[in-house]
Amino acid sequence: MDRQSMQERFGIIGTSHGVKQALDRVRLVAGTEITVLIQGESGVGKELFAQALHEMSRRRHKRMLVMNCGAMPEGLIESELFGNEKGAYTGAVERRQGYFEEADGSTIFLDEIGEMPLKAQVRLLRVLETGEFNRVGSSVVLKSDVRVIAATNKDLGKEVEAGRFREDLYYRLSTVLLHVPPLRERREDILPIFDHFQHRFTQKYNTSAPRMEANARDLLTRYRWPGNIRELRNVAEQTVVLLRGNAISEEDIRPYLRGVSAGGSGVGLVSIGGGTSSSEEGASARERELIYRILVELRVEVRELKEQIALLVAAGRSSGSTEATVVRDPGRLLVVHDDAPSHHADFIEEAPYEFESPGEVDSAGEGEAAAPEPEPANNLISLDGDLPTLEFAERTLILTALQRYEGNRRLTAESLGISERTLYRKLKDIEATETATA
């Protein structure tokens, strides 16, 4: 099967180099029994590539089983994978088969493999090496012919260094690495994917899609898409359902991009690095980006921003100053002109900076002033001077998010992009640290 036929069959859209490279690797290894580890950020479509690997193998006549390791409670993951005997643990009222028994002769896709607890990793390594396992609470050895495809949005090499992932299992899983690039590294694919989703939703909701104006399409291309294809799909659906008219402008679509609208409550990604990260520093860049994104999430409310603008404008007028007052906000750079005509409302110039890149600043013409760097809001950690340690920043973010959601751990974990089990472990570490320093 050629590359184009694969893309049409499995719905993988894109002409970028990264997508072509991933598809070519799928074609090479799909017909083998080799274990594949798919790497990529959340929302890039790793399951589509796993499905392609299965459907192009000799196991395609049986259904591929999918298990999300991050969504499975730590105490039950072994039972789900390998089954259990009646009475093996509290609540085990009957014998049940696990994924490896059910998938005999087929494929198991283990998503978020980096979230698997160490104890289960030991048993997984054994079944990968020998094909043998036993149910929880049983000593009877069973065999299963299963191909394993795993996926992760973490750097498992760093997880191994931190002691959270077994080194021998990492080498066993990563026989073949398949990297799925994020949208910001394949910008030429953004508009074709968006058009595909728009067409799908017009058919689903029996409506017509408005024409995208050039400035709106340019906005979609320049946006960083932290949620990748999942976020792009969401925006496409919103434009079909919520927008009416013959054309969609930049201002129409701006509120649906997180943090692009000054009045929005979403997240705006501030550029923290130049260009696309290399493979060596990519993981570090993604980690920094996550931290800064969550920091920006903690910005002041719109009401407080309006009050601040009003106070500054009033102060400027009382002092008789005719200079423009500059107010900075994590979502916008606002310039309030005090010398506006009296018959007009105060003119607020909005200068979005979410999409600026070092290349745009460097290419400014001679005599043109570069856009001022946005300053952090009062409730954020300043990016000037010494940066806080990663441990301190993580602790601050977790406790702040927990306070925001009034102790609700599920909502806190979702807002931080981690599992409840991971949040629980981090809270225990914070408690242990505070007890030790008390």
DSSP string, 42-69: TTS-HHHHHHHHHHTSTTTTSPPEEEEG
Domains of the chain: 3-181 (3.40.50.300), 190-295 (1.10.8.60), 390-437 (1.10.10)
Residue 62 near residue 110, CB atoms below 8 Å: no
What is the distance between the alpha carbons of residues 404 and 13, in angstroms, rounded to a whole number? 39
Q: Say what the pTM is.
A: 0.59
Q: What is the pLDDT along the chain (438 residues), one digit of tens a residue?
A: 788 889 999 999 999 999 999 999 999 999 999 999 999 999 999 999 999 999 999 999 999 999 999 888 877 888 889 988 887 777 777 888 889 999 999 999 999 999 999 989 999 999 999 999 988 888 889 999 999 999 999 999 999 999 999 999 999 999 999 999 999 999 999 999 999 999 999 999 998 878 899 999 999 999 999 999 999 999 999 999 988 878 899 999 998 887 544 333 333 433 434 444 444 455 566 566 666 555 655 554 455 566 667 666 666 655 554 444 444 444 444 444 444 444 444 444 443 434 434 444 344 344 444 444 444 444 444 555 566 777 888 888 888 888 888 888 888 888 888 888 888 888 888 887 777 776
What is the distance between the alpha carbons of residues 137 and 312, in angstroms, rounded to a whole number? 69
What is the distance between the alpha carbons of residues 225 and 235, in angstroms, rounded to a whole number? 10
DSSP string, 165-211: S-HHHHHHHTTEEEE---GGG-GGGHHHHHHHHHHHHHHHTT--PPE
What is the distance between the alpha carbons of residues 127 and 143, in angstroms, rounded to a whole number? 8
Measured over the CA atoms of residue 16, residue 109, residue 282 and residue 333, the dihedral's sign is positive
Cα–chain center distance at 174:
22
Residue 345 near residue 310, CB atoms below 8 Å: no
Quick check: helix, strand or coil at residue 259? coil
Burial class (CB in 10 A: 0-12, 13-18, 19+), 148: buried
